[in-house]
């Protein structure tokens, strides 16, 4: 979704107390798997899956189901159907370029990070396990909050789980406008990846930096208090 945007802003280095990652579209790209999943669910519901897909990305499944069959909009059902996605469609997901290297680097340094996703815990852990990606000590998933993104509660909760001072600067990494808005509303800086949405959409959501993918983000060091992050090849926001 990067299009013809000018990704030529000079590299910047900033320090943060912790990092909060969205999952789908940021660490992994499960677009094809999710399309197949919603086609399956749409068929069961008698709803055009393309109508569901038009508004489902970045939203919790429970919030999507409320629109089409409220009787199924409960976490027990959602956790069940989402837990099947990596098992049934695992071959259709790929890692976002640069994400594996970045997560391995963060884990090796022992820097504080968490995943904050609109998916359920079975979905999030299922993807990381099947793709053999680093798993954080802390997750915030759909089960943990009453309102999904763009409500900032998920990112505020993620920050609280990192064990860093409440005032510590925190970096959110996202791909969806709803997630960018959630991160900004929580008071954090946001790097937006133009993997699933247009640069204009991410800019309108208030992203501080917009990059093509995770190859533009590197951790330069961690001194057990501050994470030094280099952000390169971002969009000139002017």
What tokens were used for 23? Answer: 């999952």
Q: Does residue 28 have a cis bond before it (omega within 30 degrees)?
A: no
The whole-angstrom separation of Cα 21 and Cα 27 is 8
Find out whether 228 and 222 touch, Cβ atoms under 8 Å: yes
Question: Is-catalytic flag, 22?
Answer: yes
Residue with tokens 């000018």: 6
Cβ burial, residue 10 (10 Å; 0-12/13-18/19+): exposed
Candidate list 22, 29, 175, 213, residue with the active-site label: 22
pLDDT in tens for each of the 238 residues of the chain? 666 789 999 999 999 999 999 999 999 999 999 999 999 999 999 999 999 999 887 788 999 999 999 999 999 999 999 999 999 999 999 999 999 999 999 999 999 999 999 999 999 999 999 999 999 999 999 999 999 999 999 999 999 999 999 999 999 999 999 999 999 999 999 999 999 999 999 999 999 999 999 999 999 999 978 999 999 999 988 6
- Exposure string (b/e) for 28-54, b if CB count within 10 Å is 16 or more? bbbbebbbbbbebbbeeeeeebeebbe
What is the CA angle 129-157-125, rounded to 5?
Answer: 10
| All structural domains of the chain | 9-29+93-235 (3.40.50.1000), 31-92 (1.10.150.240)
Question: Is-catalytic flag, 24?
Answer: yes
What pLDDT sits at residue 3? Answer: 63
Candidate list 24, 29, 175, 213, residue with the active-site label: 24
User: What is the pTM (predicted TM-score) of this model?
Assistant: 0.91
């Amino acid at each position: 979704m990067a299009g013809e945007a000018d990704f030529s802003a000079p590299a910047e280095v900033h320090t943060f107390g912790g990092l909060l990652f969205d999952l789908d579209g940021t660490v992994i790209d499960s677009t094809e798997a999710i399309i197949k999943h919603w086609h399956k669910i749409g068929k069961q519901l008698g709803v055009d899956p393309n109508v569901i897909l038009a508004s489902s990305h970045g939203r919790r499944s429970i919030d999507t189901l409320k629109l089409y069959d409220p009787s199924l909009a409960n976490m027990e059902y959602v956790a069940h159907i989402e837990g099947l996605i990596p098992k049934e469609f695992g071959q259709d997901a790929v890692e976002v370029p640069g994400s594996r290297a970045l997560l391995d680097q963060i884990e090796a340094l022992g820097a504080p990070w968490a995943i904050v996703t609109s998916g359920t815990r079975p979905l999030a852990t299922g993807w990381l396990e099947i793709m053999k990606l680093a798993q954080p000590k802390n997750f915030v998933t759909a089960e943990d909050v009453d309102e999904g993104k763009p409500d900032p509660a998920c990112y505020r909760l993620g920050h609280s789980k990192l064990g860093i001072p409440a005032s510590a600067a925190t970096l959110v990494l996202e791909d969806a406008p709803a997630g960018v808005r959630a991160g900004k509303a929580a008071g954090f800086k946001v790097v937006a990846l133009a993997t699933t949405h247009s640069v204009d959409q991410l800019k309108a959501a208030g992203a501080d930096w917009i990059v093509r993918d995770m190859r533009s983000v590197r951790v330069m060091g961690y001194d057990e208090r501050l994470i030094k992050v280099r952000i390169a090849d971002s969009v000139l926001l002017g």
